[in-house]
Amino acid sequence: MKFLTGALRRTFSPAPRKAGAKVVSGRLAQALSALLGTALALTALPASAHVLQCVPYAREQSGISIHGDARTWWKQAAGTYARGGEPEVGAVMAMAPSHDMPLGHVAVVSKVVDTRHVLLNHANWSRPGMIERGVLAEDVSDAGDWSEVRIWFAPIGALGSRHNPVYGFIYPEAPHAEAAPALELASADTASRVATATM
């Protein structure tokens, strides 16, 4: 900034009388051009320099290959990834949208501290694009079922006061095969015995 101030001062200083008005206008044009070039260089970003969002970070950290807004992850995971209500290391906490968080949020569990506390790795929470590792999340739901959490908020150096709704946890493995209901197993077994007896 000191350089720019000095350059502008030299540029706008009165020109020598013998140089005439053309020298002054030439200096002014150079100064404005330099100033504009500097401003553009400071504000222009390459197309790839976007603010890191929570979704690509969670996808990379967890290996869960889901795309789209965080609010869609819970439904998209159905049938492809195991889902549940208990935190596990490597699972993605899928937060539901709310007034303050219309696109939802996803974060990866890095450590289960106890039944009400986990550490998370996530991006774009405390500041745009900021990656945070090992930040505290607390289950504040009345039932202790992880349906509402408070999360560490760096600007205040403490857990945020907002209660954030949570769908649940998406685990990186495929869903477990659900056992067929006992009634279906019994009727299939009975049908098999009846078919064998009539042959």
Q: Which two tokens stand for residue 133?
A: 């590792």
Spatial CA neighbour of 35 closest among 47, 23, 27: 27
pTM assigned to the model: 0.65
Length of the chain measured in residues: 199
- Does residue 98 carry a pLDDT above 60? yes
Q: Does residue 158 carry a pLDDT above 50? A: yes
Query: How far from the centroid of its chain's Cα atoms is residue 42's Cα?
Result: 26
The upper half-sphere exposure of residue 59, i.e. CA atoms within 13 Å in the direction of its Cβ, equals: 13
How far apart are the C-alpha atoms of 5 and 9, rounded to whole Å? Answer: 6
CATH of domain 54-170: 3.90.1720.10
Instruction: With a cut of 70, say whether residue 14 has pLDDT above it.
Output: no
Please give the angle made by the CA atoms of 146, 171 and 124, to the nearest 5 degrees. 70
Q: State yes or no: pLDDT of 196 exceeds 90.
A: no
Please tell me the predicted confidence (pLDDT) of residue 99: 96
